[in-house]
Structure 1
Amino acid sequence: MTKSICGVDCRKCELSNTCNGCAETKGHPFGSECLVALCLKEGKDALYKFKKNLIAAFNALNIQDMEEVTELNALKGSFINIEYSLPKGQLVKFWDDNKIYFGNQLSKKDSDRYYGIIADEKYLMVSEYSVYDSDAEIVVFKRWV
């Protein structure tokens, strides 16, 4: 598997041993959809526009102490799908471990904590957590499109 839809060199990817290839699977390298491949079905301009609109949506949240969002990365769900504790104590995950999302990690200003941002074609989420993803809290979870 050396051919990708987005132009990434699959041979250099740390996930190449478990990936089935996005070109070979028509944009479902781990069994679930890759958001990059979905956008690229409409062309590179569609991918650029999607990311631009998503960055604007994150920045429009005006979250105090969160850096400005300037870049989004393609991230496998299993990397970002941490557990959150709900008010009644249930532990839940919101994302598909095998889907590829857009997201990033941003430093919280004047703190040792981080904001994790993640989105798909319908929803976006901002969470706050410490260095080891512990004590994660949902800051925003909403439909953005």
Structure 2
Amino acid sequence: MHDSEKILRRLHTLGIPELTTVQALNALPGSYINLACRLPNGQTAKILDDSKSYSATQVERTDNERCYGVAADDEQLAVYEYGCNGADAVLVAWIKL
């Protein structure tokens, strides 16, 4: 499995208060968590590989009904924000590990 400690350390440095409390990640298939999301350039795309497994979690936001989704492998960390059932997903951070 991926280096969870390294992923968590990096996740905790992003400056997103809700993500500083994440202590564990779950193995989830890319095909399950690969959301079509709005990228910083305004385009919509999927950035994960459906055939890979990712260390992942979902965290509810404290100030509204949206959630953060985290997905990472040994090379990258992606953080999304989305509504119910992954609706209106926006890429918040995409970082090389």
Is TM (by shorter chain) over 0.5?
yes
Corresponding residue pairs, total: 97
Q: Does 1:70 align with 2:13?
A: no
Pick closer, same or farther for the CA change 1:89–1:56 going to 2, 3 Å.
closer
Pick closer, same or farther for the CA change 1:77–1:61 going to 2, 3 Å.
same
Distance 1:65 1:104 in 2: 12
Q: Which residue of the other structure, out of 75, 83, 86, is the alignment partner of 1:133?
A: 86
The structure with more strand, counted as a fraction of residues: 2
Aligned runs of 1:9-28 on 2, under 5 Å?
Answer: none
Aligned residue for 1:109, secondary structure, equals coil
- Contiguous gaps of at least 5 residues in structure 1: 1-35, 40-49
Match of 1:19 in 2: none
Given that 1:119 and 1:125 are in contact with CA atoms closer than 8 Å, whether structure 2 keeps it comes out as yes
Given that 2:35 and 2:46 are in contact with CA atoms closer than 8 Å, whether structure 1 keeps it comes out as yes
Given that 2:72 and 2:78 are in contact with CA atoms closer than 8 Å, whether structure 1 keeps it comes out as yes
Match of 1:24 in 2: none
State the 4+ residue runs in structure 1 displaced beyond 4 angstroms. none
Deviation at 1:86, TM superposition (A): 3.7
Distance 1:61 1:140 in 2: 8
Distance 1:95 1:84 in 2: 11
Match of 1:61 in 2: 14
TM-score of the superposed pair, with normalisation by structure 2: 0.88
Match of 1:116 in 2: 69
Given that 1:78 and 1:96 are in contact with CA atoms closer than 8 Å, whether structure 2 keeps it comes out as yes
Residue type at the aligned position of 2:33: I
Identical positions, percent: 35
Residue type at the aligned position of 1:81: N
Q: Does 1:83 align with 2:59?
A: no
Residue type at the aligned position of 1:121: D
Higher RCO (C-alpha under 8 Å, 6+ residues apart): 2
Q: Does 1:142 align with 2:95?
A: yes
- Contiguous gaps of at least 5 residues in structure 2: none
Aligned residue for 2:70, secondary structure, equals strand
